[in-house]
Structure 1
Amino acid sequence: MGVFQSFFDIFKKNSEIELSYDFDTLIDEYNMLYLKHLAIDTCAEFIARIFSRSEFRIRKNGQPITNEWTYLLNVRPNLDQSASSFWQQVVYKLITENEVLIVLSDDDQLLIAESYVRKEYALYDDVFESVWMKGYEFKRKFPMSDVIFLQYNNNDLNRYVRGLYEDYASLYNRMVEVAMRNHQIRATVGGKEGRGFDDKLQKKAQSYIDKLYEKFRKDSVAIIPMQQGLEYNELTNTVGETNQSIDELKKLKRQFVDEVADILGIPSTILHGELADLESAQTVLNKYCVKSLNKKIEDELNAKTISKAEYVAGMEVKVVGVDKKDIFDLADAVDKLISSGGFNRNEIREEVDYESIEGGDEFYITKNYEKAKGGEEVNDETGN
């Protein structure tokens, strides 16, 4: 055979290997992408579930008060959601999309916007328009002062998510490339019985190939005659199997979950259900993840649900979540703080998210909490 046939022989030998490699690579890329997405979803859902257990307390000068916002934030934000499911969705969207917009409808429902356009201004309120929610578009515009707008501002997570979308684009391009190769017609044309390609046969083969090409290109079903002296063989596409084992996928999943957990401040041992040193892990979770999230949402609610005059008068919104201190664990420490005269009872109550009480601003110095009057003789034996 001539050079023409040799080329097709080389192509035939490598085509099945190449296509098998393409599918191996494609499946590996898909698995990696899926596991990255699963890691973000796992961590975001974990934090969202934790925050959904939070309680929103409105106080004035340390005393609890009840108003319409108390009901909206703690019981039923809108007609379709309870408070726990609403805040779980808010926090999940905040983490995965880096921001979330909550608008107050004309009938006083808190609604999570699915999409919107934000117009920014230097000296005036930013404005949100084209706000969509469940297929409904609000016709009016929402100034920043009338909405609850939360931004996560986690640059490391932003880069991770951007990389995820780049991986999606890469996977899509690879899928298109593999699909084109998989559905491409590939064939060899050779001389029968070891016959080589002389000039006459090469022209005949080229004419035959051109006719085949036109027939295959134009017709979905093409029937072609065989030519004397020429042999046509269409290559069969084969699909390879992925080489990734179940154990490898589990290790990759754990690796990606650990990466995202580290970005969000979640101890990975909690996510994996490891009970060793659980108390320490819970402390780290509260300190580096939950508290900062509570503070972010708390600040936005204070800025948007309470006026400046009300805030100056002592009104505030407080988010009390799973990071709330256990008063029974702190009993000994509280006893020493109060009996030493270092703090009064209301200061301690504020630290553990309880309202102030009447007479709680007085300081005590004796162990049995008797008020220190000063000037008494001290008993050398008892110290009282």
Structure 2
Amino acid sequence: MAFNLFRWLFGKETESKKVDMKAVYYNLASEIYIRELAFNIITNKIANVLSKCEVNVYEKNKKMKNEEWYRWNIQPNKNQNATEFRNKLIYRLFHDNEALIVVNSKELYVADSFFVNDEKAFFEHTFENVQVDNFTFGRKLTMSEVFYFKLSSSDIKSLLDSTLQLYGKLINAAYSNYLVSNGNKGMLYVDQFAEQQDDFEDTLNEMLNEDFKKFFSGSNAVMPMYQGFKYEELKNTGNQVTTRDFKALLDDVIHITANAFGVPKSIANGDVQDTSKAIDEFLTFCIDPLIELLTDEINRKLFSMFQILNGYSIKFDTKAIKHIDLLDVATAIDKLISSGCFCVNDIRRVLGEDEIDEDWANQFFMTKNYTAIEDLIKEMKGGGKDEQRKILSTQKKFRRPKS
């Protein structure tokens, strides 16, 4: 053995010791899993709602179904459909606080990683090391070549992870308390007769490591006790910890995550009470701002200022987000058509029904109950001079002759 000068001088062991990192890895992994579970629950709900929105393309204020409509609604690229594409876009946007869509051979791809160079305030920003799956672009991409979305000025995901670290530790503590509270505990008494046996250590190890393990894990089990051994079970006199304590903390993590991204608590939990009100709040504070962010960026990159001023644009249609029961909305359908606000095919599209290939299905109708305000005022005042002449001539015609 080599001479250790420091141990000889100070009388201390200076050799390196191995540290058991299993417990550290377990606690760290469980905290990450809990945060990622809550994050994926919320982002999946947002992506599922966005996938129900049709992207309408307008040319000169007329709705069109062209190549652009096909790319955003059916197949953005040869490897993804529109739903998969939007799911990846939402995940990257909320996970990284920014997302990048690149165009390659008229196909759309969501970048997995990139570096944005935004140091030059008055010059076009560029993107370097743009990677899609295992392919990396070998050149810089300019802002005008891509669709770049940024969620907010601060990285909400990083702030959220830092906030939820404490909850991860609390959940680990609740899990440990649950195991301690609901575990089997007892006292094993060993007398001198058993200790004096030659095979005492082997018998004791076999009993503790094998026999008791099978006895506690089995639903029906018998524990043989050797001579000189006596087992006495200890009853838990403290408060019984249940899985409800664990679930309550997990619900807190989900609620905090949902609140950070503008998702109502009832939608995050999957509750069915007041679903309509919750969806309205969900649309107002989460989906509508998100759609506005996507629409602004897509429009300014697809169309020039001249085209936008002349009715070229894309719009996300959010009317299909809510599930519609025909029997519940029958009265509303009648009012929408009879007021001249929508035609029959407009209503059928919202309901998810096939359009009718007839001219009358695209016409607008209005009942006679509706009239112009000017005509109503004239009627209330007794009509104009022409109307008064008609009334007088009618009265003369049907006036009885004098006897």
Report the aligned-residue RMSD. 4.2
Deviation at 1:164, TM superposition (A): 7.1
SS at match of 2:375: coil
Task: Write the mapping of 1:127-166 to structure 2, written as runs, cut at 5 A.
Answer: 127-153=126-152, 155=154, 157-161=156-160, 163=162
Q: Look up the equivalent residue of 2:130 and give its one-letter code.
A: V
Distance 1:140 1:75 in 2: 29
Contact 1:36 1:253 in 2 (8 A): no
Question: Which residue is 2:84 aligned to?
Answer: 85
Counterpart check, 1:295 vs 2:292:
yes
Say which one has the larger Rg. 2
Q: Aligned letter for 2:250?
A: K
Q: What SS does the aligned partner of 1:44 have?
A: helix
The question of 1:314 aligning with 2:315 is answered: no
TM-score normalised per structure 1: 0.60
* Residue number in structure 2 paired with 1:115: 113
Q: Contact between 1:74 and 1:83, CA under 8 Å: does it hold in 2? A: yes
Instruction: Tell me: CA distance 1:24–1:251, structure 2 relative to 1, closer, same or farther (3 Å).
Output: farther
Q: 1:53 to 1:60 in 2, by over 3 A?
A: same
Counterpart residue type for residue 75 of structure 1: I
Deviation at 1:160, TM superposition (A): 2.7
Describe the superposition over 1:126-153 as per-residue Cα deviations: whole angstroms up to 9, x where unpaired.
Answer: 1112211121111232110111111111
CA drift of 1:66 comes to: 2.9
Following superposition, the deviation at residue 154 of structure 1 comes to 6.7
Whole-Å separation in 2 of the counterparts to 1:66 and 1:58: 7
SS in 2 for 1:374: helix
Secondary structure of 2:79 counterpart: coil
SS of equivalent residue, structure 2 residue 127: strand
- Is 1:271 matched with 2:268? yes
In structure 2, the gaps of 5 or more residues are 1-18, 170-239, 351-360, 383-403
Candidates 259, 263, 271, aligned match of 1:262:
259
Q: 2:372 and 2:331 mapped to 1: Cα distance?
A: 20
Residues in 2 aligned to 1:92 and 1:99: alpha-carbon distance in whole angstroms: 10
Give 1:158 deviation, angstroms. Answer: 3.8
Q: Secondary structure at the match of 1:345?
A: coil
Q: Do the aligned residues in 1 keep the contact of 2:55 with 2:72 (CA within 8 Å)?
A: yes
Q: 8 Å contact 2:128–2:141 — kept in the other structure? A: yes
Per the alignment, in what secondary structure is the counterpart of residue 71 of structure 2? helix
Match of 1:219 in 2: none
- Give the whole-Å Cα distance in 2 for the aligned partners of 1:165 and 1:144: 35
Asked whether the 8 Å contact 2:113–2:130 carries over to 1, the reply is yes
1: distance between equivalents of 2:306 and 2:273? 49
CA apart distance, 1:46: 1.4
Distance 2:241 2:306 in 1: 63
- After superposition, the C-alpha distances for 1:238-261 in whole angstroms (9 at most, x for unaligned) are xxxxx9964333222111000011
Aligned residue number for residue 345 of structure 1: 341
Q: Measured at CA, do residues 162 and 144 of structure 1 come closer, stay the same or move farther in structure 2, by a change above 3 Å?
A: farther
Q: Do the aligned residues in 1 keep the contact of 2:31 with 2:165 (CA within 8 Å)?
A: no
SS of aligned partner of 1:57:
strand
Which structure carries more relative contact order (alpha carbon 8 Å, separation 6+)?
A: 1
Contact 1:290 1:323 in 2 (8 A): no
1:35–1:252 Cα contact (<8 Å) kept: no
Report the secondary structure of 1:303's partner residue: helix
Give the fraction of aligned pairs with identical amino acids, expressed as a percent.
24
Pairs within 5 Å for 1:1-384: 27-28=26-27, 30-105=29-104, 107-120=105-118, 121-153=120-152, 155=154, 157-161=156-160, 163=162, 246-321=243-318, 322-323=320-321, 345=341, 367=369, 369=370, 374=375, 377=379
